[in-house]
Amino acid sequence: MTETRDELIAAARDAARRAYAPYSGFHVGAALLLRNGDVVTGANVENASYGLTLCAETAAVAKIANEGWIGELAEVAIIGGRPDGDDLRGTDPVNPCGRCRQVLNEAAERSQTDILVHCASGDGSAVKTYKLSELLPAAFGPKDLGLID
């Protein structure tokens, strides 16, 4: 797990470098591991109308949904911090927001797995790993609508 986790965090860090965050100055990257071993990334995209901002996790899940891979999610890594050249600053792991937990739950339920979520600090010094069910207990999703057994 550590090798996969570290590779996912590195991919998330690379995605965070491409974030568009002129308002908060806080870059977040997400890397989704699919069952076939492919990695799909996303970065936060801010908007002057703050409510229209896209989180990194949401951007990445939108990519896999658009490719027809919504049911292939296996793991996710998230990293965030303030940019410092090519690096990110921050010593505390960045956790997905509530909206992103719900978006990840949709893909996880479609994948029929309780995915691992690796949360990393910007500087990489701290990583916490959770099952999605720990981050979003009693989640509402496709199973509640009778769409998944």
Catalytic residues: 57
CB contact set of 122 (below 8 Å; sequence gap of 6+): 16, 79, 80, 81, 82, 87, 88, 89, 90, 91, 94
- Answer yes or no: are the C-beta atoms of 127 and 121 closer than 8 Å: yes
CB contact set of 44 (below 8 Å; sequence gap of 6+): 19, 20, 21, 26, 27, 28, 53, 54, 55, 56, 59
